[in-house]
Amino acid sequence: MKRSPSITSKLPPLLALAAVLAVWLIASEGGLVPEFMLPSPAQVGAALVSEFPTLLDNAAVTLQEAALGLGIGIAVALVLATLMHRVRALYRACYPLLVVTQTIPTVAIAPLLVLWMGFGMAPKVTLVALTTFFPIAVSLLEGYASTDKAAADLLRSMGASRWQIFRHLEFPTALSYFFSGLRVSVSYAVVGAVISEWLGGFEGLGVYMTRVRKAYAFDRMFAVILFIVAVSLLLMALVTLLRRLAMPWEAYEKIERND
């Protein structure tokens, strides 16, 4: 019944996208920028089609690194955030350090990791884990802290142990925060894997990018960028789907709030 607002809300982004495409079209086809430097949308489309099998092969490697790194990132974030939540001293000790690690640019540590770990998968997975754990850890900490104190009192009055309060109240409360963090981390994971591949490797979207860049194949550069954007968007949609499955009650809360 609320169809019409959702269409009007989708209109502005569609218009903006169309405007970007129009500028691109005018710049490339109109001869404002030399063709070899800025390929037209049609050329990029053609490259995307012809290179699609190669892109898929490389994406398989990159996604594997991203998934492994993200998995480790989630695990570390869960353990660390939960421990920090439980042990106040650990929170005070680790939180500033956690923030500092995030100010180190990814491109700066990636070469170091390659030097330490070689050209295999290890440095890539490590980099992804490093970049993804932070948003999840911070979200979880925020989520744990947002627990309703009165609800915790209620559980304590029932004789609940700390673990039971965590399991029945704190963790479910933090779940929505976890998924918000995961949504950010998923796109970090793909970008992190690609960046670490620039610095060395045998396969992957980052390796492919370096190769076509060296060949000045601008159409294929654009194609791989679009491809990475699409993959990231798809993964973010997957997180939203997971969230809906894991937290079915959220749908009703939103209805209540809107009314």
Partner 1 sequence: MSGEESASALRAEGVTKAYDGRVIIQDISIHLETGELVCLLGVSGAGKTTLFHTLSGLERPEAGRVLLQGEDITGRPGKISYMLQRDLLLPHKKIPDNVALPLVIRGEKPRAAREKALGYFAQFGLEGTQDKYPAQLSGGMRQRAALLRTFLGSQGVVLLDEPFSALDALTKREIHRWYMGMMDQLQLTTLFITHDIDEAILLSDRIYILSGQPGRISAGLTIQPPRPRDLEFSLCGEFLAYKKQILSLLERQG
Chain-centroid distance of CA 50 in Å reads 27
Q: Residue 190 interacts with partner 1 (CB under 8 A)?
A: no
E strand or H helix at 43, and its extent? helix 41-86
DSSP type of residue 170:
I
**Residue of 224, 227, 232, 223 lying closest to 41 (CA atoms):** 223
Residue 139 burial by CB count (10 A; 0-12/13-18/19+): exposed, middle or buried? buried
Q: Residue 11 interacts with partner 1 (CB under 8 A)?
A: no
Nearest distance from C-beta of residue 177 to partner 1, angstroms: 13
Q: Residue 175 interacts with partner 1 (CB under 8 A)?
A: yes
Round to whole Å and give the CA distance between 205 and 226: 12
Number of chain positions touching partner 1 (CB under 8 A): 24
Q: Residue 156 interacts with partner 1 (CB under 8 A)?
A: yes
Structure tokens at 48: 């995307």
Structure tokens at 224: 């791989």
Amino acid in position 87: V
Residues with Cβ < 8 Å from 182, sequence gap 6 or more?
Answer: 74, 135, 136, 139, 239
Q: Residue 253 interacts with partner 1 (CB under 8 A)?
A: yes
Name which position in 17, 49, 153, 216 contacts partner 1 (CB under 8 A): 153
Q: Residue 160 interacts with partner 1 (CB under 8 A)?
A: yes
Q: Residue 155 interacts with partner 1 (CB under 8 A)?
A: yes
3-class secondary-structure state, position 251: helix
User: Among 66-74, 83-91, 135-143, 163-171, which window interacts with partner 1 (CB under 8 A)?
Assistant: 163-171
Q: Residue 242 interacts with partner 1 (CB under 8 A)?
A: no
Q: Residue 172 interacts with partner 1 (CB under 8 A)?
A: yes
Nearest distance from C-beta of residue 31 to partner 1, angstroms: 59
Chain-centroid distance of CA 176 in Å reads 16
User: Among 121-129, 157-165, 183-191, 200-208, which window interacts with partner 1 (CB under 8 A)?
Assistant: 157-165
User: Among 96-104, 170-178, 207-215, 226-234, which window interacts with partner 1 (CB under 8 A)?
Assistant: 170-178
Name which position in 164, 216, 233, 242 contacts partner 1 (CB under 8 A): 164
CB of 199 within 8 A of CB of 122? Answer: no
Nearest distance from C-beta of residue 173 to partner 1, angstroms: 8
Note the maximum CA span of the chain: 75
Q: Residue 25 interacts with partner 1 (CB under 8 A)?
A: no
Instruction: List residues binding partner 1 (CB under 8 A).
Output: 148, 150-151, 153-160, 164, 168-169, 172-173, 175, 247-249, 252-253, 255-256
